[in-house]
């Protein structure tokens, strides 16, 4: 081995990626690294070259179409057939213990495999309970994934599980490109000789890593630096507290590999460059520069105080304008109760990477591209097998052999190598992408018409319709205004028809929000009866200013009651709030909470906002 692989120090460029790998070798508690970049940038070569600089580590590769048996382990078929007893055959997770688990094209792995790998990486143990075997073993490894973003993104659910993130690009420097070609030619002509040329640098890096490991426990991070870490992560709105731990572990590795025992502000900045890119939810607002010297702190504070005052003045002016426009809007709204207008469709955006993850065990028919679901068909990725009393249409050969293996010693063969009985037969479980049905519930009342908000609403819906077309989803359009609600478009795959209805949708009148919610709720229930495999998503777009009662009760009370029904029915929902201005009632925020929905303000509407809003939606009906 290691002498046949491409030497780590011989790789030209990609210094940040090489540094991230070194940090993980020094401190595995960092939690691995996700490498994203176009093809041909040396991602796989760098990962596979790791054993050349770390004699104690192997790179265990995870095949793209691996089954759960090969991953976690299962019954040893050969021993079961020969000796007639059940013995464990260890999976890749056992081999990965104390090593690197390399996942090439990690974004194309199935959700079930990814979830298993990252859960084991987090816990450090793999538990096997299948086919009468119960076994637990240590599995502490460094997960490294590579991906080409052109082939699809990695699910946000898994993104946070990787400690560090590095984006790589091809080297555009002319001299570097020439050097890359020369070294590759030398390597292909005589691999052993080429390796010997770099052996000294490989051993030097190996010694550097081993020395860094020995001083890792001596590293200290001051209280001041910990405060900076916490404050910065809070400013970037990083979710949970995992990020703080990873930053600290990364800082320790940086300090150790540089042969120091105390961290400084530059170490934190370097750690942030690896830890934050795939975790931050927003940009910080006017945060103090973490690298300012203490001598300049007082002057900086004075300047910031002056700037804050100016900002407060500007904010006050805008608040006054918003207050005035809000009062005007209310007056205008009341006077528009009988006037209808048809707004143009506003600006659209690319609503990319909207997906749903299924946690249920239902087998669905249908096609699409948005959500992975188990399927009874023979199409899709084979993920595991099951026993089944009914007729089996898609036999799992490996599953059947595993079930029959322990009994071969006691069965009559009658001229066959393996005797299989009906009770041994196992069926393949497959999963494939399927579409969802998106129910757009649109507020077309007069209050939405104020200040051209209906344009923005139509633009947002148009963007989502375009995405629905690409993902082969079904769509439906329901609008409410004046005194009632109306189904403008029954569920269909014709996105063009939905766009036509959207462009012709008038706005004006009061806001019968409860009527719209009731109509959508009952319509989704009726569609569910017709199509039990349906995966529904309700998208409510409104300002929440309900002023028409459905039953004579308070309109908001009615809305809350229907919201509770939607939640109990486990209808996944996305609420887009169009209310703006200084004075806000915040009705939809509370309503979305009762619905169990994801909440989004239209003021923040963008491709990233939509992406972040729907990333955690889980189909569990």
Cβ contacts of residue 296 below 8 Å, gap of 6+?
none
Q: Which among 519, 521, 510 has a CA at the least distance from the CA of 548?
A: 510
Cβ contacts of residue 328 below 8 Å, gap of 6+?
none
> What is the distance between the alpha carbons of residues 309 and 301, in angstroms, rounded to a whole number?
12
Q: Which among 188, 134, 161, 129 has a CA at the least distance from the CA of 34?
A: 161
Cβ contacts of residue 505 below 8 Å, gap of 6+?
342, 442, 444, 458, 479, 488
Task: Count the neighbouring beta carbons within 10 Å of the beta carbon of residue 270.
Answer: 17
> What is the distance between the alpha carbons of residues 2 and 251, in angstroms, rounded to a whole number?
29
> What is the distance between the alpha carbons of residues 119 and 111, in angstroms, rounded to a whole number?
12
DSSP H or E run through 47: helix 43-48
DSSP string, 459-505: HHHHHHHHHHHHTT-EEEEEEEETTEEEEEEEEES-HHHHHHHHHT-
3-state secondary structure of 165: strand
> What is the distance between the alpha carbons of residues 146 and 166, in angstroms, rounded to a whole number?
10
Give, in order, the Cα–Cα distances in Å from 135 to each of 74, 79, 91, 413, 588: 10, 17, 12, 31, 49
Q: Which among 445, 226, 199, 430 has a CA at the least distance from the CA of 334?
A: 445
For 87, left (φ over 0), alpha (ψ -120 to 50), or beta? Answer: beta
Q: Which among 99, 119, 93 has a CA at the least distance from the CA of 25?
A: 99
Give, in order, the Cα–Cα distances in Å from 546 to each of 405, 423, 483, 488, 586: 66, 61, 11, 20, 12
Give, in order, the Cα–Cα distances in Å from 319 to each of 301, 326, 331, 448: 26, 10, 18, 20
Cβ contacts of residue 186 below 8 Å, gap of 6+?
193, 194
Q: Which among 522, 59, 504, 581 has a CA at the least distance from the CA of 327?
A: 581
The number of residues making up the chain comes to 621
* Rounded to 5°, angle at Cα 70 from 413 and 402: 20
> What is the distance between the alpha carbons of residues 184 and 267, in angstroms, rounded to a whole number?
34
What order of strands is seen across the sheet that includes strand 33-37? 59-61, 100-104, 142-147, 33-37, 164-168
3-state secondary structure of 90: strand
DSSP H or E run through 146: strand 142-147
> What is the distance between the alpha carbons of residues 391 and 387, in angstroms, rounded to a whole number?
11
> What is the distance between the alpha carbons of residues 104 and 22, in angstroms, rounded to a whole number?
19
242 catalytic residue (yes or no) = yes
Catalytic residue among 48, 70, 177, 242: 242
**Catalytic center residues:** 242
């Amino acid at each position: 081995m290691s002498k046949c692989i491409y030497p780590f120090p011989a790789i030209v460029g990609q210094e940040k990626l090489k540094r991230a790998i070194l940090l993980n070798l020094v401190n595995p508690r960092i939690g691995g690294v996700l490498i994203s970049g176009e093809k041909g940038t040396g991602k796989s070569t760098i990962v596979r070259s790791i054993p050349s600089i770390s004699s104690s580590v192997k790179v265990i590769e995870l095949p793209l179409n691996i089954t759960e048996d090969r991953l976690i382990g299962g019954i040893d078929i050969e021993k079961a057939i020969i000796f007639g007893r059940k013995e464990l055959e260890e999976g890749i997770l056992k081999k990965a213990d104390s090593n690197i688990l390399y996942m090439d094209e990690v974004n194309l792995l199935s959700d079930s495999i990814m979830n298993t790998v990252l859960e084991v990486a987090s816990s450090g143990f793999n538990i096997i309970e299948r086919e009468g075997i119960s076994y637990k073993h240590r599995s502490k490894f460094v997960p490294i994934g590579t991906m080409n973003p052109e082939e699809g993104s990695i699910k946000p659910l898994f993104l946070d599980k990787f400690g560090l993130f590095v984006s790589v690009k091809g080297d555009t420097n002319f001299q570097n490109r020439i050097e890359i070609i020369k070294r590759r030619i030398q390597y292909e002509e005589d691999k052993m000789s080429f390796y010997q040329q770099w052996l000294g640098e490989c051993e030097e890096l190996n010694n550097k890593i081993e020395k860094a490991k020995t001083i890792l426990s001596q590293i200290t991070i001051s209280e001041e630096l910990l405060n900076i870490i916490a404050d910065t992560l809070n400013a970037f709105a990083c979710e949970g507290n995992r990020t703080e731990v990873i930053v600290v572990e990364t800082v320790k590795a940086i300090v150790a590999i540089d042969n120091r025992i105390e961290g400084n502000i530059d170490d934190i900045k370097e750690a942030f460059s690896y830890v934050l890119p795939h975790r931050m939810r927003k940009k910080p607002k006017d945060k103090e520069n973490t690298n300012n010297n203490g001598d300049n702190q007082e002057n900086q504070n004075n300047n910031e105080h002056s700037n804050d005052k100016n900002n407060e003045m500007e904010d006050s002016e805008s608040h006054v304008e918003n207050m005035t426009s809000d009062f005007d809007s209310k007056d205008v709204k009341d006077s528009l109760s009988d006037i209808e207008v048809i707004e143009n469709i506003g600006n659209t955006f690319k609503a990319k990477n909207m997906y749903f993850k299924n946690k249920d065990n239902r087998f669905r028919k249908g096609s699409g591209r948005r959500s992975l679901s188990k399927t009874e068909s023979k199409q899709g990725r084979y993920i595991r097998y099951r026993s089944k009393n009914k007729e089996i249409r898609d036999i799992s050969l490996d599953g059947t052999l595993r079930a029959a293996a322990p009994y071969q010693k006691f069965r009559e063969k009658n001229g066959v190598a393996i005797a299989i009985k009906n009770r041994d037969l196992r069926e393949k479980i497959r999963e494939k992408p399927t579409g969802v049905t998106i129910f757009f519930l649109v507020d077309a009342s007069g209050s939405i018409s104020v200040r051209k908000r209906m344009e923005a609403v139509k633009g947002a819906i148009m963007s989502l319709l375009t995405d629905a077309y690409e993902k082969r989803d079904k769509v439906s359009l329901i609008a409410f205004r004046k005194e009632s609600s109306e189904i403008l478009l029954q569920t269909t795959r014709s996105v063009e028809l939905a766009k036509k209805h959207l462009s012709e949708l008038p706005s004006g009148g009061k806001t019968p929000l409860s009527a719209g919610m009731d109509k959508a709720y009952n319509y989704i229930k009726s569609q569910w009866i017709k199509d039990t495999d349906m995966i529904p998503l309700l998208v409510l777009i409104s300002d929440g200013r309900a002023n028409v009662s459905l039953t004579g009760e308070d309109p908001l009370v009615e809305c809350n009651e229907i919201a509770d029904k939607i939640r109990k029915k486990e209808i996944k929902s996305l609420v887009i709030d169009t209310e703006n201005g200084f004075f806000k009632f915040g009705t939809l925020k509370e309503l979305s909470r009762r619905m169990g929905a994801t909440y989004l303000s239209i003021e923040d509407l963008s491709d990233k906002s939509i992406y972040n809003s729907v990333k955690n939606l889980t189909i569990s009906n």
